Amino acid sequence: MSASLERLIEIMARLRDPEKGCPWDREQTFETVVPYTIEEAYEVEDVIQQGDMPGLCEELGDLLFQVVFHARMAEEAGEFVFDDVVCAINDKMVRRHPHVFAEEKPGDWHQQRQAWEGHKSQERKQKAGYSGSGALHGVATALPALMRAEKLQKRAARTGFDWPDIAGASQKIDEELAECQSALQNGVKQEIEEEIGDLLFSCVNLARHADVDAESALRQANRKFSSRFSYMEGRLREQAKTIRQLSMEELDQLWEEAKLTGAGQRAT
């Protein structure tokens, strides 16, 4: 283990020291630290999208600190230590790459992907003491909804439950949109929520068939909207106006202006 990593582990132990540690760090539990762990993972994604390499270095450090934090709490509970975490991922990567670390003949990307999923499936069965658990067993419920929808669909697809091509996924969106519009006309809140959920789920399915990560696509759409909206606000400040003072036609014209400037487009 490198000296810098050992120092980080020591720093974490000092922060959690019952007598001389930081009061905030001492009070944390696995459950209270989870939101920070998730947040740090998203901040890694954010700096990557920005092409900010110094920022990536910093955010990866923050994410590593979260791993060390969880490992320290586990060590205090007598469950495992940081080195166990490292050993476990080392063993898993070697086990799942027999075409690299063993004598198996490497195939193409598709064959390797199938083998990878096969290894994961076998591991899940062994971990659960397999007793006929379903194909969707083990998909974490705490995942962001779009990401979980995609994982559920991929698991189901491996059993043969899937559209044969993207056309079926596209037609399903039309069907769900019609049902959503019908629910809106009925005005029943629970029905509206259910149909909008079905529509979103179908959109994830379309993204999957188009080989697009739905979660990443929505994040990019969020960034694009934020950038264009900020552009509109800036233009209106120059005119000493507010959004509420503009008609829908004027707002639409200003939005199109923001689009033409390239506001919100992914950097290349």
pLDDT, tens only, 76-95: 999 999 999 999 999 999 98
Question: What per-residue confidence (pLDDT) applies to 267?
Answer: 44
SS (H, E, C) the chain: CCHHHHHHHHHHHHHCCCCCCCHHHHHCCHHHHHHHHHHHHHHHHHHHHHCCHHHHHHHHHHHHHHHHHHHHHHHHCCCCCHHHHHHHHHHHHHHHCHHHHCCCCCCCHHHHHHHHHHHHHHHHHHHCCCCCCCCCCCCCCCCCHHHHHHHHHHHHHHCCCCCCCHHHHHHHHHHHHHHHHHHHHHCCHHHHHHHHHHHHHHHHHHHHHCCCCHHHHHHHHHHHHHHHHHHHHHHHHHCCCCHHHCCHHHHHHHHHHHHHCCCCCCCC
The radius of gyration computed from the CA coordinates of the chain, to the nearest angstrom, equals 24
SS (H, E, C) 73-132: HHHHCCCCCHHHHHHHHHHHHHHHCHHHHCCCCCCCHHHHHHHHHHHHHHHHHHHCCCCC
Asked if 204 and 157 touch (Cβ cutoff 8 Å), the reply is no
Which regions of the chain are under pLDDT 70?
Answer: 104, 106-133, 263-268
Asked if 91 and 98 touch (Cβ cutoff 8 Å), the reply is no
Domain spans of the chain, in order of start: 3-96, 134-212, 215-260
Token readout for 3 is 């000296």
Asked if 64 and 8 touch (Cβ cutoff 8 Å), the reply is yes
pLDDT, tens only, 25-67: 999 999 999 999 999 998 998 899 889 999 999 999 999 999 9
Amino acid at 52: D
Angle at 144 between CA 96 and CA 224, to 5 degrees: 110
Q: Which CATH architecture has domain 3-96?
A: Orthogonal Bundle (1.10)
Token readout for 161 is 């439950």
Amino acid at 19: E
Question: What per-residue confidence (pLDDT) applies to 122?
Answer: 67
Superfamily of domain 134-212: MazG-like (1.10.287.1080)
Does 134-212 match 3-96 at the fold level? yes
Put simply, whether the predicted model's pTM sits higher than 0.85 gets the answer: no
